[in-house]
């Protein structure tokens, strides 16, 4: 045994020798280490047979471990109880006992057991004996008899705030004034009841009023003893003010806690349910007390909960650290709860039930599930987005999330972005743009940005720069505030905008330098922009005289309806065919103009206005008048040539034929034949000229060029049966051009031109018609004398007159159809082997 134990045993032994009651010292293992003579007599045993034995050997129905546990858990460290001891002779001894802590430090624990035969009168404690024991106690001890204090130890004096002398000098009334007025009546009744019975009063809590007026809570253990030959009340008092406050705080917490507390007895009946528990389950007041807890467990796992409860009650397990399970409310709803459960034990350590705390996590779990779904949708949306998205958080900030598009735009993987430090993130922005972007992001974080978005640049991992548009907003990310940054790659858009600005600049320069008047209006004809030539044409000096006015204000009233019709037709048909108007200047001058208009569209693709291009056609009108007069004169001459001159030629031919028939002179007849043939050629020329008289008047229409060639060949063969014609036609089923009735004239002119100057004994003509992507190629070849190189270039020049009337007519017809005509050698480089005339005509719809 350690030395300190010997010292305590020695002290205890001396104390025991001074007592008239039986006295035992018991060590931490329940072994009796010391005793006094009275205990040997009472147990009818020798010292050698008692010391060193376990106390449990002498206890009949009581458990030393349970009593010791009660002492350890008691706030006073003292237990008064009745026990039954077994004597060495086999008989039992009913005794009143007090058990307390003698020593409890790092060297170990020991306890004292004072007992006396309850069947005998208690022996008196002499004042000196009692004092030696009581003065060593840490609890307040006092003896009250006849409402007077006859003894109080130092601990009692310290608790009350009075000195021992002051306490012992108090009258009975003053002694009762130590007790709080609200507790006096209750205590008087209890003291009277237990005095009459002569038994020990169970522990009682009440308030005392100290000398300084402070109110303290105490726990008192009162027993009736013999003191100097008379009954007296012995009171052992412990200051429990702090303990009481802590207990009240605990009780308040229990009721005010935001979680449910529920206590069950061993039969799973509810013995405690706090306010939050009543709110969750739907009870009022004490309605839940006594009800079976399993009625609040859903049937599907009620069996499992019963099994878990049995394991707790039987001591197989002490607690259930955490579990999630639903409970049923009184209206049948289920609430998901997070549980923590422990067993409850009484003073003897026996399990008397369970205590559970539970937090309602129904909404939390639902919110978490909804959040998971929302986060899943958010992630899917973000990952499929065509924009780069990143979430920044922390100080210094880091990228907490980035989608694949953001990683692609920066030239990194997502994992690489998440590892970047704040300095490396800042380096993703060019130096010249960095401060501006950081200021913008901080403003977005504070909710005070100057603009919804910011255009700047970023630097890819390969060093390349690209234009981006940034927007940012604060969001909650993993329960913390963060900044969500959305980035759009606008490189192509910026290139387009720069090109557009350059184009607009060129357009404006073009508009300003254009010799035509250019006007921009809205859909109602209100002028929004004009160039200088438009102002000059309108006869105004400043653009303010035009802006805001309608184009109709510059036209005579009789022209307004036609102008409105023209705008409506342009809007519906997109036809930009120019229309002639008379412009009325502010000075009253009328100027003939020609205006073409086109629809202007908004960025959304909707009609937004008109752009009108006009020009002064005063000179053109004068030329047209002159041309009309010249044409009328030409037509007059042509009419005279075709009628009067032709009649005279007929008369010459008739006279020559008559003269030939009346003369026998061969020479004269030959001369007359020459006159007749010359006249016939003149008549043929006049016929050809008259044939195309209406060439420029007749409108174009759809004509089948292959069909026209076939008809022309039939007619040509009837006129020239002695000419060999070979044809080669390679076209689609429908070979259509925009032509007129002169298409056959073109064909016949080319075919006749191939034979009229052909002096070959065997005249041959080749006609080819082929098709390409945009039109048709016509080739007419002959085996005549050909066209010398010196004449090819001017053959179709009407001023040089190398070609005949038929070729010039063919050129006019071809040009009217939008085609072209040329002449080559049939055999390249050998003009004398014949000519090859080539014509190209566009397909209908390609002009």
DSSP code string of 198-225: T-PEEEEEEEEE-TTS-EEEEEEEEEEE
Indicate the range of 59-63, 130-134, 280-284, 792-796 predicted with least confidence: 130-134
Q: By percentage, how much of the chain surpasses pLDDT 90?
A: 18
Q: What is the three-class DSSP state of 304?
A: helix
pLDDT at 442: 87
* pLDDT band, residue 333 (cuts 50/70/90): very high
| 482 contacts 392 by C-beta, under 8 angstroms | yes
Give the residue among 413, 401, 422, 383 at the shortest CA–CA distance from 476: 401
Q: What is the three-class DSSP state of 382?
A: helix
For 756, the token pair is 């009229």
pLDDT at 524: 93
- To which CATH superfamily is domain 514-616 assigned? PAS domain (3.30.450.20)
- Cα 427 from chain centroid? 26
Higher pLDDT, 768 or 507: 768
Q: What is the mean pLDDT of residues 543-552?
A: 88
Fold type of domain 366-494: Beta-Lactamase (3.30.450)
What are the residue boundaries of the structural domains of the chain, listed by start?
A: 1-123, 257-360, 366-494, 514-616, 622-691, 701-842
For the domain spanning 1-123, the CATH number is 3.30.450.20
Cα separation, 242 vs 217, in Å, equals: 8
Indicate the range of 337-346, 507-516, 694-703, 788-797 predicted with least confidence: 507-516
What top-level class would CATH report for the domain 257-360?
Answer: alpha beta
Pairing, β 480-489 against β 517-521 = unpaired
pLDDT at 672: 72
Sheet containing 527-530: give its strands across.
Answer: 527-530, 517-521, 607-616, 590-601, 579-584
Q: Is the pLDDT of residue 78 over 70?
A: yes
| 84 contacts 95 by C-beta, under 8 angstroms | yes
Average pLDDT, the chain: 82
Give the residue among 645, 658, 656, 611 at the shortest CA–CA distance from 514: 611
Per-residue model confidence as pLDDT tens digits over 495-534: 877 777 776 666 666 666 677 888 899 999 999 888 888 8
pLDDT at 516: 84
Q: Is the pLDDT of residue 162 over 90?
A: yes
Cα separation, 44 vs 85, in Å, equals: 11
Cα separation, 570 vs 111, in Å, equals: 117
Q: Is the pLDDT of residue 642 over 60?
A: no
Higher pLDDT, 803 or 182: 182
pLDDT at 23: 87
pLDDT at 2: 41
Q: Is the pLDDT of residue 625 over 80?
A: no
Helix crossing, 646-662 with 666-691: angle to 10°? Answer: 160
Q: What is the mean pLDDT of residues 414-429?
A: 89
**Distance (Å) of CA 182 to CA 161, 208, 222, 783:** 20, 10, 20, 150
pLDDT at 748: 85
Please determine whether the domains at 1-123 and 366-494 fall in the same fold group of CATH.
yes
* pLDDT band, residue 438 (cuts 50/70/90): confident
Q: Is the pLDDT of residue 734 over 50?
A: yes
pLDDT at 692: 65
Q: Is the pLDDT of residue 351 over 70?
A: yes
Indicate the range of 172-181, 682-691, 807-816 predicted with least confidence: 682-691
Per-residue model confidence as pLDDT tens digits over 166-212: 999 888 889 889 999 999 888 888 777 765 655 556 678 899 999 99
Q: What is the mean pLDDT of residues 425-443?
A: 89
Indicate the range of 68-72, 342-346, 828-832 predicted with least confidence: 68-72
pLDDT at 291: 92
Q: What is the mean pLDDT of residues 68-83?
A: 76
How many other C-beta atoms are found inside a 10 Å radius of the C-beta of residue 825? 18
Q: Is the pLDDT of residue 647 over 60?
A: yes
Higher pLDDT, 767 or 369: 767
Task: Give domain 701-842's CATH architecture.
Answer: 2-Layer Sandwich (3.30)
Highest mean pLDDT among 330-339, 345-354, 670-679: 330-339
| 705 contacts 809 by C-beta, under 8 angstroms | no
pLDDT at 18: 47
Higher pLDDT, 726 or 5: 726
Model confidence, pTM:
0.32
Cα separation, 101 vs 410, in Å, equals: 76
């Amino acid at each position: 045994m350690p030395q300190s134990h010997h010292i305590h045993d020695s002290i205890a032994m001396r104390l025991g020798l001074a007592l008239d009651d039986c006295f035992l010292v018991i060590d931490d293992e329940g072994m009796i280490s010391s005793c006094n003579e009275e205990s040997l007599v009472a147990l009818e045993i020798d010292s050698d047979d008692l010391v060193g034995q376990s106390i449990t050997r002498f206890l009949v129905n009581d458990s030393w471990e349970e009593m010791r546990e009660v002492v350890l858990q008691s706030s006073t460290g003292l237990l008064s109880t009745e026990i039954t001891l077994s004597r060495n002779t086999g008989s039992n001894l009913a005794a009143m006992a007090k058990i307390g802590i003698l020593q409890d430090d790092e060297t170990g624990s020991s306890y004292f057991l004072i007992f006396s035969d309850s069947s005998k009168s208690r022996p008196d404690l002499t004042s000196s004996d009692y004092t030696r024991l009581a003065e060593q106690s840490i609890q307040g001890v006092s003896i009250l008899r006849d409402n007077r204090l006859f003894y109080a130890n130092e601990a009692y004096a310290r608790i009350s705030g009075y000195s021992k002398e002051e306490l012992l000098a108090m009258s009975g009334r003053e002694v009762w004034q130590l007790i709080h007025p609200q507790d006096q009546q209750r205590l008087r009744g209890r003291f009277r009841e237990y005095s009459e019975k002569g038994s020990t009063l169970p522990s009682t809590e009440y308030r005392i009023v100290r000398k300084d007026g402070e109110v303290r809570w105490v726990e008192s253990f009162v027993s009736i003893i013999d003191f100097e030959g008379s009954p007296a009340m012995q009171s052992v008092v412990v200051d429990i003010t702090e303990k009481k406050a802590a207990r009240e705080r605990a009780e308040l917490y229990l009721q005010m806690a935001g979680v449910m507390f529920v206590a069950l007895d061993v039969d799973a009946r509810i013995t405690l349910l706090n306010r939050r528990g009543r709110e969750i389950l739907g009870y009022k007041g004490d309605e839940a007390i006594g009800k079976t807890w399993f009625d609040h467990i859903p049937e599907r796992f009620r069996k499992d909960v019963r099994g878990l409860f049995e394991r707790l009650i039987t001591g197989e397990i002490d607690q259930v650290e955490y579990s999630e399970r639903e409970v049923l409310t009184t209206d049948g709803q289920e609430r998901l709860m997070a549980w923590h459960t422990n067993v409850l034990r009484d003073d003897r350590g026996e399990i008397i039930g369970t205590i559970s705390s539970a937090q309602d996590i129904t909404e939390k779990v639902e919110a978490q599930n909804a959040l998971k779904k929302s986060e899943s949708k958010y992630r899917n949306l973000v990952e499929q987005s065509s924009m780069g998205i990143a979430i920044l958080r922390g100080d210094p900030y880091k990228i907490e999330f980035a989608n694949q598009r953001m990683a692609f735009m920066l030239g990194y993987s997502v994992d690489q972005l998440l590892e970047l430090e704040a300095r490396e993130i800042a380096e993703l922005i060019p130096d010249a743009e960095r401060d501006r972007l950081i200021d913008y992001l901080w403003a977005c974080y504070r909710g005070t940005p100057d603009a919804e978005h910011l255009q700047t640049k970023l630097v890819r991992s390969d060093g390349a720069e690209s234009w981006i548009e940034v927007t940012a907003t604060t969001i909650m990310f993993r329960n913390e505030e963060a900044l969500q940054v959305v980035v759009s790659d606008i490189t192509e858009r910026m290139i387009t905008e720069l090109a557009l600005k350059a184009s607009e600049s060129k357009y404006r320069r073009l508009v300003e330098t254009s010799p035509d008047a250019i006007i921009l209006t809205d859909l109602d004809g209100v002028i929004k922009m004009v160039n200088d030539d438009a102002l000059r044409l309108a006869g105004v000096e400043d653009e303010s005289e035009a802006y805001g006015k309608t184009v109709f204000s510059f036209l005579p009233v009789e022209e307004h309806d036609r102008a409105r019709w023209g705008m409506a037709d342009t809007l519906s048909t997109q036809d930009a065919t120019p229309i002639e108007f008379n412009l009325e200047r502010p000075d009253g001058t009328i100027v003939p103009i020609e205006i073409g208009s086109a629809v202007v569209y908004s960025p959304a693709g909707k009609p937004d206005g008109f752009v009108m291009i006009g020009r002064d056609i005063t000179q053109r009108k004068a030329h047209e008048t002159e041309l009309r007069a010249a044409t009328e004169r030409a037509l007059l001459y042509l009419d005279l040539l075709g009628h009067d001159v032709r009649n005279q030629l007929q008369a010459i031919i008739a006279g020559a034929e008559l003269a030939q028939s009346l003369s026998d002179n061969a020479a004269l007849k030959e001369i007359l034949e020459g006159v007749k043939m010359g006249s016939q050629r003149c008549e043929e020329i006049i016929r050809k000229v008259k044939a195309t008289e209406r060439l420029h008047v007749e409108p174009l229409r759809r004509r089948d060029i292959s069909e026209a060639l076939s008809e022309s060949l039939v007619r040509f063969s009837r006129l020239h049966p002695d000419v060999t014609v070979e044809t080669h036609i390679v076209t689609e089923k429908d070979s259509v051009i925009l032509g007129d009735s002169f298409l056959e004239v073109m064909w016949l002119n080319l075919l006749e031109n191939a034979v009229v100057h052909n002096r070959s004994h065997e005249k041959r003509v080749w006609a080819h018609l082929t098709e390409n992507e945009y039109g048709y190629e016509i080739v007419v070849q002959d085996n005549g004398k050909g066209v010398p190189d010196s004449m090819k270039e001017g053959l179709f020049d009407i001023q040089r007159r190398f070609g005949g009337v038929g070729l010039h007519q063919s050129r006019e017809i071809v040009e009217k159809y939008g085609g072209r005509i040329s002449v080559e050698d049939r055999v390249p480089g050998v003009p004398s082997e014949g000519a090859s005339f080539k014509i190209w005509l566009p397909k209908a719809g390609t002009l």
